[in-house]
Every structure is written in C-alpha cells, then in structure tokens.
Amino acid sequence: MKINLVNESFDSLQSDLEVIFVLNKDLNHKSIKDKKLLESLNFKAEDEEVVLLPESKKIYVGCEDNSYDCIAVAISAAVKKLQSTKFKSAKVKLLDGEASTLKALVEGAALGAYSFTKYKSKKTKNKQELFIVTKNSSKELTKTFNDSLIIAESVNKTRDFVNTTPEDFYPKTMTKEAKKISKLDDITLKVHGEEYLEKNKMFSMLGVGRASRHESQLIHLTYKPKNAKTKVVLVGKGLTYDSGGLSLKPGDSMVTMKSDKAGACMVLGALNAIAQLKLPIEVHCILGAVENMIGGDAFKPDDVLTAKNGTTIEVRNTDAEGRLVLADCLCYAQDKIKDIDYIFDYATLTGACVVGVGEYTTAIMGNNTGLRCNAIKNASASGEFSTSLPFNRHLRKLVKSKIADTCNMATSRYGGAITAGLFLDNFIYKENKDKWLHFDIAGPAYVENAWGYNPYGASGAGVRMTVEFMNSLSLDIDKKCQAK
Ligand code: BES
Ligand code: ZN
Ligand code: ZN
C-alpha cells in the first residue's frame, strides 16, 4: 500500500473509493450521504465496523472517538476492505487538519495493510494507494507524515524479522540484519561470537546457547550523531528459538516461540527509525542472539553458571533462559559503555506477564518510579499500551538461592513477571539502578487473535513506544517526571 499526503481540493482528487469516518455512531452527520442505505444494511458504526457501497464508491467505517487508537484502528479496517477489492485507490479527508490525527491515519493504514507472505507460494502484489487529503499543508504536517511513515515501516520490518521461521532466522541472521541497518548514517557495528563470550567470562549467556548448532552472537550497534544530547542503551532478548531447553516446553507452548527474539528485533526496528529520524541522541543497541535447544551438551537444571560480573546463578529451570542471556548483555553494556544516562531492556520474558496484564500490554519495571511513569506516558502517546509493575523487598527474596548468589527461578509461582525483573536487577550496577527500566513485551509481541491493526503474528510491539520515548528524552521535556 502506498500512502500519500496531498494538498488539493478533496472533490477534484481522482480516486476509486472514498473513506468516510462515522464518528460517535452519528449517522445523522452531514458528511453521511447514504444514511438510509446504511440503516437498511444494519450498519451501526461500531468500532471497526466497515461497509463498502460500490454504487456510491464509498467505504464507511465506524470510529468511536478521535483518539489515536480509534482512528488508527478505523483506517486500518477501511484499508483492509480496500485490499479485499480490485479497486486501486481510496481517499480520506484529514478533517481536523491536526498532526496527531495524520500520525494515527498514516500509522494505522501502514500497519493495517501489512501482511506476511514469505511462506505463501502465491504472493499477491499490492499496488493500491491511499490518499490523505488536507486543505492546508504545513511543514509540521509534512514532517509528521514522513516521520510516521518511517516509524510504521520500522514496525513492519520488526514484524518481518519476528515472523521469519527459526530455520531461516538464527543468531547469525540477526547479525546479517544488524549489518544492513548499520549502513544508515552515524551507525557502527561490533559483533562478538562465542570465543569472545568465553574470553570475557559470559558463561550465563553461553550456557543457554550451548546445545544449539548455531553460534550465539552478541551484537553491539552504536548510533552516534554529532549533536547527541543524551546516551541511551537498549538491550534486547534475541532467543531465535526457545524450546525451553531440557526443561522442555509442552508442544502447544512451544509453537510461536520463534517470537522469543521479539525484544532484539524490536530494538533493531527502533534503531532503524531513530537513525532515519536523525534523533539527536546516542543510542547503543546490545542484542543477545541465542537459540535454546536440547542435546547432550545442553545446560541443565542444577547447573551453576557464572555471569560476567561474577554473580553465580543456580539454574532450576532452563526455560527461564531469557534472563540468563540478558544478565550477561546488561553486564557487557555497563562495562563497555561509560556514563550511561539510561539503560532499558526489552524481552518476551515471562508467561506470567501475559497472565498478569493481558495480551495487549507491555509491563514496565524498575527502581525509579518517575522514570517508569515517563515511559508509560510516552508509550501511550505512541499508541501502545503499557503499565507499571512494582518491585518490593519481599518479592526480591524469592530469587535467592541456597547454593549460589541467585537463582533463575523464583521460589513462588506468584508474581513471576516481577521476580524475573528482580533477577535482572542483580546485574544492574549501583550507579545505574535509577537509570534502568525493564520492558516485558511477552503479551503484545505476538498476536494469536488479530486485533485492531495487528494481523496474526508479530506485532512489532515496543518500536513505537521506544521511538517516542527517545524523542522525548532528546527534547528534554520530561525531566520532572524522571526525578525519583
Ligand atoms: N519465552 C518465554 C516467555 C514467554 C511465554 C513469552 C509465553 C511469550 C509467551 C520464557 O523464556 C519462559 O519460558 N519463561 C518461563 C519462566 C519460568 C520457567 C520461570 C515462563 O514464563 O513460564
Ligand atoms: Zn523460556
Ligand atoms: Zn524465552
């Protein structure tokens, strides 16, 4: 789908179809010329309800209010309707002329039009066009349009990565994709294989990948523009497959575990956007790309692994592997990168998180309440759902071990998303305690029942909220909220 912003009279613009939003279920609005027909079709203008009237060449779509989510979901429904026809184009009016509405339209249309066809033998070519028509063009609208396209394309790139099968996307594939992104301006790349991990005593990450035929990769991308105002580290869990290891997942839960690389893929997508938007911020991306498999050489429940910072970890469940990979990646980041302002990690870390906050929401954890609040605000502004999960000292005791410094599985099955976050806190150095946030994206990263503008499969969750957050950090507008 090609999306265009055009500044001309709506009526004179040639297109096959016209998209009309029915706001607040108000079929009496003057823009609705086919009220009688719509009523006879029992069209109620509910959220996502869409109808095509081929005679009058109109697509009517319900839109509950003018929030980002409602607009994005509505235009996505209209675009999907267009895609189900042989019509070549549709036009939609930017009614209020607002940049925020334009952002919702562009992102909703581009995300809604996405489909993953890599493994289909017959690929449908989609050459349809959407025209967003505005009476008054301005620099602000043009910038919003271009930025929104970059962001949506980066989300779709992340979706492509995550949707690719583990046979086609293994740790070295992550390296290959990182290399492509490193071609953008101001980005450099370092890749470390298992020899480096061993030399640098990263036995926690090494343990997880030991039974795989694919070599683990620690990927470090640096985006360093000349006008950088702050320094941020983004760490991503990149399990290209999580079979559970010797604590093998049951068959049903193993399906979809190609999506366990979503944290790292989303960091790649966010960097792809940040660099193209030329945000004035230094960003380091640390990706732990590993495959968790079974075999004679596999790490085991009862093993004790030593992470890069010397912390010993009792393994009680090899399926709690993401935190083992992140432990070493977090240490690497803090050892290698000096004067960090913020360090955030992103991971499909726990099933408990999905149970706790649902399939649509990212859970944000960390020691700094103000910073968490700021992250949630930015996520919401970007169109993503998130919430905060609080640490407490009682839960912290649950990741202690009788035989090592810490344990990769809590002693209680309750509060699993938080205890995983508290495990990671063991690997955050003193000086960075208040600069760190952990994002558990296990719920929204992979969509099993399509919703809104997300089809079945990867959603690209985390990209939009991260770009929005990075933009706000570079503008320095949220200093107050970050104070503890
Ligand atoms: N990758 C999974 C978490 C997950 C589950 C992501 C469902 C997306 C959907 C993770 O590695 C895992 O298996 N965690 C275990 C931890 C437990 C053994 C302490 C879990 O959540 O069951
Ligand atoms: Zn696991
Ligand atoms: Zn996992």
Please give the Cα distance from 434 to 438 (Å, whole number): 12
What band does 479 get if pLDDT is binned at 50, 70 and 90?
A: low
What ligand has the least distance to the C-alpha of 237? 3
Give the range among 103-107, 123-127, 199-203, 477-481 with minimum mean pLDDT.
Answer: 477-481
Q: Is 120 a catalytic residue?
A: no
Amino acid letter at 60?
Y
Q: What angle do CA 479, 483, 484 make, to 5 degrees?
A: 160
Q: Which of 292, 350, 399 to mutate to test ligand 1, by most ligand atoms within 8 A of the CB atom?
A: 350
Q: Which of 237, 257, 313, 319 to mutate to test ligand 1, by most ligand atoms within 8 A of the CB atom?
A: 319
With tokens 């660099």, the residue in question is 275
pLDDT digits (tens, 9 = 90+) for 392-448: 999 999 999 999 999 999 999 999 999 999 999 999 999 999 999 999 999 999 999
pLDDT of 476 above 90: no
pLDDT of 228 above 70: yes
What six digits make up the tokens of 371?
């910073």
Closest by CA position to 399, among listed 415, 421, 416, 423: 423
Closest by CA position to 32, among listed 46, 18, 42: 18
What band does 137 get if pLDDT is binned at 50, 70 and 90?
A: confident
Q: For ligand 1, what atom is nearest to the CA of residue 409?
A: 19
Distances (CA, A) of 98 to 237, 287, 316, 442: 37, 37, 54, 33
- Residue nearest ligand 1's atom 22 by CA: 351
CA of residue 350 to ligand 1 center, whole Å: 4
Report residues whose beta carbon is within 6 angstroms of any ligand 1 atom.
242, 260, 317, 319-322, 348-352, 354, 409, 416, 442
Please give the Cα distance from 476 to 288 (Å, whole number): 30
Instruction: Tell me the whole-structure pTM to 2 decimals.
Output: 0.97
Given the residues 323, 372, 435, 464, select the one marked as catalytic: 323
In this prediction, residues 130-149 reach a mean pLDDT of 96
Amino acid letter at 478?
D
Q: Burial of 418 by CB count in 10 Å (0-12 exposed, 13-18 middle, 19+ buried)?
A: buried
Given the residues 172, 249, 377, 396, select the one marked as catalytic: 249
**Per-residue DSSP letters for 41-92?**
TT----TT-EEEETTTTEEEEEESSSSHHHHHHHHHHHHHHHHTSS--EEEE
Please give the Cα distance from 253 to 243 (Å, whole number): 9
pLDDT of 88 above 80: yes
Q: Is 249 a catalytic residue?
A: yes
In this prediction, residues 205-218 reach a mean pLDDT of 98
CA of residue 148 to ligand 1 center, whole Å: 33
